[in-house]
Each structure stands twice: as C-alpha cells, then as structure tokens.
C-alpha cells in the first residue's frame, strides 16, 4: 500500500472520530452550561484553578521528585504569592515551568473573582427573577394547555400551539431539551412531570387541556391519573407506545389515547392510496387559505333552534358545515340542511380562516361566553 493510500485510509478513519468527539464535547458543554445556569462561569473558573493546581503538583512531584506533602505546600505558597522560599532547590527547567504556573494561577484567580462577582451581582438575581417571572405568568393563566414531555411529539405540539397563538406550558426534565426550549422561547418548567408539585406549579387545576406525551407509558399513566384527580374537567390526550397501554390510560382518565406509530403508518398508507384526499385534509388543517374548525353552540346562542339552511351560516359567513357532533357524542357527517342546531352541538366547519370569528361569535350565548 502506497503513502497516499495510507494517508487516505487514516483520514477516513480519523476524521469521523474527531467529528463525533467534537459533537459529543459540544453537547456535554451545552448540557453542563444549562444545568448550572448563571453559576457556570464560577464552575468554569474553579475548573481552571483546579487544573492549574494539578499542573503545579506535576512540576514538583514528577519533574523535581518531591513528596506529596512538600509539593502540595509549595503549590499553595506559589499560587497564593506569599513569597516564601522554595523548600528545595529547583532546576532551571522547573523554574521556567513555575513561572508559567504563577501566571496561570494569577489569571485563574482573576477570572474566578470576576465570575463570582458576576454570579452575585447578575446571575443569581437573574435566575431568581427569571423563575419568579415564569411562575407569575403561569399563575395568571387560565384555560391554558400543558405539554408533559418535549420530545419529538411534544415539540410538534408546542409548535402547533404557538402557530395558533394558544397559551401553553411545557414540562421537561432533560437538560438538552430544556436548552432547546429556552432557545425556542417556550414557556416551560424544569422537572419531573410525574410529580404533583410540578403539575400544580403548571396550573393543572386551572388548565383546559393536557398532553401526556413522555416516552414511557407508565409515566403517562401516572401523569394522567394525577391530573384527572386535580382537575375532573380537564381534557387529557395521552400517548401510548404499546397497544396494551391504551386501556390503562383510558382507565386512568385520558379522554383520548393516541399511538403515534399507528397514526404515522396509516397516514403514510393514505398518502399512497388516496393522495388527493390527503392533500385536501392537509390544506384544511394546515393551509393558510382554508381551515377546518369546530364551534361549540352555547345555550344562549342565536343559532339554537334554527336549521342549517335557516341559520344562514353559508351566506353570512361563507363557511361550509361538514359535520355536527351532538352533546351525546353522536357525530353526523354531511348533515341534512333541515338539521336543527341545538345547544351543546359542535359544528365542524371548513372555510377561509378570516371568516370563523363571525361564526364563533354567533355560537356564544347572550352573555358572551365562548
């Protein structure tokens, strides 16, 4: 094998390893930085000082051959710049190395003092103020939504709710995901979503809906059970990875249980089997020019007692009613024009997004309750 081949083989093996190592180091750095928050400069300064101290021990023990006690004492004297004489004569090489030790020691102490000042004056106050500010915002929220777990599913849910401009609080304990939440600007609390303390801090008693979408089914069962006890009116959507967990989550109090693998598989199959229908559904649920919404009809609404044709929904709001869900839960698709609208009905409408506020206002009662 020639030199070029050896060099090419070495680079193919060495460079991917270096790249992976660099990514791992960067991830570890970001994780540690987020975990310590405003205290990170102080931890970094202490790490620098520890490294300098170990370097000093190396000089006196390895280079000069001193014992541990004499080496430790001499390093302390050197870094503290007290000015005592050496315990034993030093070689020229050791003197040069000690000179660098003194410079690094002074620099580390200066950085540590600056970091300590920053933590005391800025960081600590910023952390305390930030946590209190977040908790104050959550305490003022009503009818909001809680997302337990910011994995691949939780991140998509949070993005959708942000797109709809709906209030949401995310609960997560993974440091890497917490860093991502902070970068994305989501409102979140750090901790274990299975604990009652964190659920109460997120305002579960006042929330409108909760998503139990952590990675473990057992944790989702516990979250669902605790949340249902705190708020009997709460709408809970739970994730299940295994089909046998669906019944357990329903017994725990979940209103709906979804299995992402089955949903994803069915969606992929429909794209192949019925591409036009799939395109229409995506346009209706995600498009900007067409939207699908549900409108709850309150008891005092002007629409109560009218039929679909006499209500004038189509000419007044330019919206098409494609389904009606009765208060009993019975769903009727493509309802007859003579279908009577009753209090408690939920109308499923399709049309331009800007036309829905008018129908939503008509669905409210006389007191304006949504």
Residue 285 forms part of a structural domain:
no
- For residue 113, pLDDT over 90 is answered with no
Q: Look at residue 264 in the predicted model and tell me its pLDDT.
A: 85
pLDDT confidence tier of residue 347, bands split at 50, 70 and 90? very high
> CATH number for the domain including 77?
1.10.287.70
Average pLDDT for the chain: 85
Q: Look at residue 57 in the predicted model and tell me its pLDDT.
A: 92
Same domain flag for 125 and 151: no
Residue 190 forms part of a structural domain:
yes
Residue 230 forms part of a structural domain:
yes
The residue that leads in pLDDT, 176 or 30, is 176
Sign of CA dihedral 233, 209, 143, 327: negative
Percentage of the residues of the chain whose pLDDT score is greater than 70: 83
Same domain flag for 70 and 28: yes
pLDDT confidence tier of residue 10, bands split at 50, 70 and 90? very low
Q: Look at residue 37 in the predicted model and tell me its pLDDT.
A: 62
In tens, the pLDDT along 208-230 reads 999 999 999 999 999 999 999 99
Residue 271 forms part of a structural domain:
no
Average pLDDT over residues 158-185: 90
Same domain flag for 248 and 345: no
Q: Look at residue 321 in the predicted model and tell me its pLDDT.
A: 94
Instruction: Please say which residue of 136, 169, 202 terminates a domain.
Output: 136
Does this model's pTM top 0.75? My answer is no
In tens, the pLDDT along 287-296 reads 667 888 999 9
CA 36 to CA 243: how far, in whole Å?
39
Percentage of the residues of the chain whose pLDDT score is greater than 90: 48
Determine the structural domain holding residue 356 and report its residue range.
Answer: 290-363
In tens, the pLDDT along 58-112 reads 998 998 898 999 889 888 888 887 766 778 888 888 889 988 888 898 888 888 8
> CATH number for the domain including 321?
3.30.70.1450
Q: Look at residue 282 in the predicted model and tell me its pLDDT.
A: 76
pLDDT confidence tier of residue 14, bands split at 50, 70 and 90? low
């Amino acid at each position: 094998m020639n030199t070029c081949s050896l060099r090419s083989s070495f680079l193919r093996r060495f460079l991917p390893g270096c790249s992976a190592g660099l990514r791992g180091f960067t991830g570890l750095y970001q994780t540690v930085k987020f975990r310590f928050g405003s205290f990170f400069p102080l931890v970094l300064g202490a790490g620098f000082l520890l490294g300098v101290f170990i370097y000093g021990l190396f000089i006196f023990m390895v280079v000069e051959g001193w014992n541990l006690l004499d080496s430790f004492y001499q390093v302390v004297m050197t870094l503290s710049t007290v000015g005592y004489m050496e315990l034993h004569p030093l070689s020229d090489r050791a003197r040069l190395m000690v000179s660098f030790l003194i410079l690094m020691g002074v620099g580390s102490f200066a950085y540590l003092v600056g970091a300590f000042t920053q933590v005391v004056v800025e960081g600590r106050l910023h952390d305390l103020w930030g946590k209190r500010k977040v908790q104050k915002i959550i305490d003022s929220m009503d009818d909001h939504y809680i997302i337990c777990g910011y994995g691949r599913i939780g991140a998509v849910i949070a993005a959708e709710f942000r797109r709809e401009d709906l209030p949401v609080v995310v609960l997560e304990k993974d440091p890497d995901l917490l860093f991502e939440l902070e970068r994305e600007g989501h409102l979140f609390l750090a901790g274990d979503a299975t604990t009652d303390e964190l659920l109460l801090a997120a305002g579960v008693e006042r929330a409108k809906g909760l998503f139990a979408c952590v990675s473990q089914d057992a944790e989702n069962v516990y979250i669902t059970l605790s949340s249902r006890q705190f708020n009997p009116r709460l709408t809970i959507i739970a994730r299940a990875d295994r089909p046998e967990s669906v019944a357990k989550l329903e017994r725990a109090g979940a209103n709906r249980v979804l299995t992402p693998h089955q949903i994803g598989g069915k969606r992929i199959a429909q794209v192949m089997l019925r591409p036009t229908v799939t395109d229409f559904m995506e346009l209706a649920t995600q498009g900007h020019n067409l939207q699908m919404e549900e409108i709850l009809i309150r008891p005092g609404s002007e629409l109560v007692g009218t039929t679909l044709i006499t209500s004038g929904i189509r000419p007044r709001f330019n919206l098409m009613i494609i389904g009606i869900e009765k208060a009993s839960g019975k769903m009727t698709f493509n309802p007859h024009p003579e279908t009577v609208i009753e209090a408690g009905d939920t109308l499923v409408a399709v049309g331009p997004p800007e036309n829905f506020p008018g129908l939503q206002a008509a669905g409210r009662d006389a007191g304006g309750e949504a």
